[in-house]
């Protein structure tokens, strides 16, 4: 295929796709070298950016997707009569931040860092598919372990979880003069050792999620008389 043909074929697939498309999948489908496909993706991105049309090409969650430019949000909302913002609450964002940097992490660990019971927020994030059950921790009570999802990467425009900025890059804090070893201790605090993690397969995820929900609900209702998130 000549480059122009290849680019238009790639564009066609991306136009119809509803999820980020991997370069390798495009290469396989089109029977072309990955490097050639990547070159055309870059070219397509450049063309779309120069045009400043309704949508742009972006790399996210390990693939490529077409999405509308943010400035058209209000028009789209009006046309599709979308109500409400559906934004994530600050509590949800804090919980998501902890999960992203400390995964796999348990509900008690999250609550501990936040200083408040976080079971309700975890439930919401599970329902919004921003986090998923990744297994159980081999400690007393075998609590569920949570990880961020592909939807999380797409939502925040990350290509890979490793693209998250290092924790110590978040400056402008009180006590900025903290010692280097404390920074190190905070940013690399005890990731759950592999020996304590019991990961589960994709097929088991659904059942585990239902169980996790039931568990969270139990935790919530047993505490709800004294407190609410």
Judged by CB, which is closer to another protein: 25, or 168? 168
- The end-to-end CA distance of the chain, in Å, is 58
Binding mask 141-180 for another protein (x = CB under 8 A): -------------xxxx---------xx-xxxxxx--x--
98 part of the interface to another protein, by CB under 8 A = yes
93 part of the interface to another protein, by CB under 8 A = yes
Q: Measure the CA–CA gap between 124 and 169, rounded to whole angstroms.
A: 28
Q: What does the H/E/C string look like for the chain?
A: CCHHHHHHHHHHHHHHCCCCECHHHHHHHHCCCHHHHHHHHHHHHHHHHHHCCCEEEEEECCEEEEEECHHHHHHHHHHCCCCCCCCCCHHHHHHHHHHHHHCCEEHHHHHHHHCCCCHHHHHHHHHCCCEEEEEEECCCCCCEEEEECHHHHHHCCCCCHHHCCCHHHCCCCCCCCCCHHHHHHHHCCCCCCHHHEEECCHHHHHHHHHHHHHHHHHHHHHHHCCCCC
How many chain residues touch another protein (CB under 8 A)? 60
Judged by CB, which is closer to another protein: 179, or 195? 179
201 part of the interface to another protein, by CB under 8 A = no
200 part of the interface to another protein, by CB under 8 A = no
Span 49-88, contacts to another protein by CB under 8 A: 65-73, 76, 85-88
- Nearest Cα residue to 156 out of 229, 75, 76, 92: 92
Where does this chain touch another protein (CB under 8 A) — which range of 13-21, 24-32, 138-146, 193-201?
Answer: 13-21
202 part of the interface to another protein, by CB under 8 A = no
48 part of the interface to another protein, by CB under 8 A = no
10 part of the interface to another protein, by CB under 8 A = no
Judged by CB, which is closer to another protein: 40, or 149? 149
115 part of the interface to another protein, by CB under 8 A = yes
Closest contact distance (angstroms) between CB of 47 and another protein is: 18
Is the CB of residue 143 less than 8 Å from the CB of residue 106? yes
Which residues contact another protein by CB under 8 A?
A: 16-18, 65-73, 76, 85-88, 90-91, 93-94, 96-98, 100-101, 113-117, 127, 129, 154-157, 167-168, 170-175, 178, 182, 185-187, 189, 206, 209-210, 213, 223, 226-229
């Amino acid at each position: 295929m000549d480059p122009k043909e290849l680019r238009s074929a790639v564009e066609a697939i991306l136009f119809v796709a509803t999820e980020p498309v991997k370069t390798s999948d495009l290469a396989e489908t089109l029977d072309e070298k990955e490097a050639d496909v990547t070159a055309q993706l870059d070219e397509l991105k450049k063309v779309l950016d120069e045009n400043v049309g309704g949508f742009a090409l972006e790399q996210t969650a390990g693939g490529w997707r077409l999405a509308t430019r943010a400035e058209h949000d209000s028009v789209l909302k009006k046309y599709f009569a979308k109500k409400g913002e559906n934004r994530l609450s600050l509590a949800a964002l804090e919980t998501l931040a902890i999960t992203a940097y400390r995964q796999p992490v348990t509900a008690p660990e999250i609550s501990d860092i936040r200083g408040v019971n976080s079971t309700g927020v975890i439930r919401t994030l599970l329902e919004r598919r921003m986090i998923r059950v990744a297994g159980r921790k081999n400690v007393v009570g075998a609590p569920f372990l949570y990880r961020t999802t592909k939807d999380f990467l797409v939502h925040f425009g990350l290509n890979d979880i490793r693209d998250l900025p290092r924790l110590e890059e978040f400056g402008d804090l009180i006590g900025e003069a903290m010692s280097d070893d404390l920074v190190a201790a905070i940013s690399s605090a005890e990731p759950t050792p592999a020996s304590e993690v019991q990961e589960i397969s994709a097929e088991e995820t659904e059942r585990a999620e239902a169980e996790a929900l039931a568990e969270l609900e139990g935790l919530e209702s047993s505490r709800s008389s004294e407190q609410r998130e």
